[in-house]
Amino acid sequence: MAKFVIQKSGPLEGVVEISGAKNAVLPILAATLLSSEKCVLEGVPALKDVDIMCDIIQALGVSVNRSIEESKVEIDASVINTSRAPDHLVEKMRASMVAMGPLLARMGKAEIHLPGGCAIGDRPIELHLKGLKALGAEIDISENGLVKGKTDGLVGTDIYLDFPSVGATENIVMAACLASGTTLLENAAQEPEIVDMCNFLNKMGARIKGAGTDTIKIEGVKSLRGARHVIIPDRIEAGTFMVAAAITRGTILVKNMLPDHVKPIIAKLRECGCDIFMTPEGVVVDASDRELKSTDIKTLPYPGFPTDIQSPFMALLTTVEGHSTVIETVFENRYMHVRELNKMGADISVKDRCAIINGGRPLKGTNVLATDLRAGAAVVLAGLVAEGVTEVSQIYHIERGYENFVEKITNLGGIIKRVDD
């Protein structure tokens, strides 16, 4: 098993370029199943999750031609040999469930095992299945966790989501594209990644309006064509490097990002005392020679503060004098990084969904775990400012979501290397 070995580094300085968004490319890869014509995706990051989704699509009989060097994937789904996704791949990644809607719409049937992924809380697929049932699919879940769906033809309808689930929104929208009639999806998730997916689908000939709002209208069409699309930049990776500048008291120019997608992160970093300004090249975060202040954060669905930045931001707050409060409202089990940060000398207590950080305690390097993707990013950032050496295990979580993480940190002056045990 590989691990990261990190030493205390000086302030991170320089330029970092953000990769394509993991949470955008995964549903867009699934969306290519809706067309029998070739699709070309650019700006595709080299990530473990992308590897898995490409493998799933290929296992269905689809032609997948990927160039890591060019960050490009060509998909030809003119032939789909099976509607059963391989269990051993699906169980590695929760996002694999978004293949169900496209398969039902295109093939009239789909079989996908209950998925895996980060253990950050209860992320039920009930909303996915409820929406697909509303469109006319018959759904059955066997005792061993195999979800089977079939339909003689999906029919548009009105659907209200009990919670603005990103995955459920994606699955329902993709399925509704080939349904007969009109679907109105209310209380839909509004994340930029959903907007990117809908833009891609519209290029394919779908008729979708309202993406990015809480109400999405989809007029079904008989078929979709191929399309070429560039994936949006990863706002969570951008946020992570913005926090990296703050925690190391450095200055980083973050290139290839969309500032509108990270407004809550910018606001909170400014509350902490960082200077943030826009340039033609990107966003500069300057925390050099500053005494940062404590602040409070509360995670919310987009456009609120992103739950995926909660862990790295908490690592920052451990280095700031004063008391800070973090309230996690999206996932109930997203405080597993607290134990790891406390191992490093932080003083964090948790009660229910509220974490209290007594900041300003010196952090010390030790052996810690990347308990999930974003928790892994948090302990890496903490390791950059901790005295001594920090060893981070279970880094496969981190490599699911950050492209060239070690290289990018090293280019900014961080002392980190990937080693095999």
User: In the block, which residue shows the tokens 């909660």?
Assistant: 310
Q: Is 236 helix (H, G, I), strand (E, B) or coil?
A: helix
Residue 158 vs residues 127, 149, 215, 269: alpha-carbon distances, Å:
14, 20, 10, 40
**Residue 119 carries which side chain, given as an amino acid letter?**
A
Are 229 and 39 within 8 A, CB to CB? yes
User: In the block, which residue shows the tokens 């943030």?
Assistant: 276
- Residues 189 and 96: their CA atoms lie apart, in Å, by 18
The active-site residue, picked from 54, 118, 177, 274, is 118
- Residues 43 and 152: their CA atoms lie apart, in Å, by 36
**β strands within 107-240, DSSP E:** 109-113, 138-141, 146-150, 158-160, 182-186, 207-209, 215-219, 228-230
Strands of 215-219's sheet in order across: 158-160, 182-186, 215-219, 207-209
CB atoms within 10 A of CB 352: 9
DSSP state of 254: E
Sign (positive or negative) of CA dihedral 43, 45, 46, 50: negative
DSSP state of 363: P
In the residue annotation, 118 being an active-site residue is answered as yes
Tell me the angle at which helices 235-247 and 373-385 cross, rounded to the nearest 10 degrees: 20
| C-alpha count within 13 angstroms, C-beta hemisphere, residue 408 | 24
**Residue 414 carries which side chain, given as an amino acid letter?**
G
Closest among 98, 81, 177, 100 to 141, alpha carbons compared: 100
- H or E segment at 278? strand 275-278
Task: Kindly list the catalytic residues.
Answer: 118
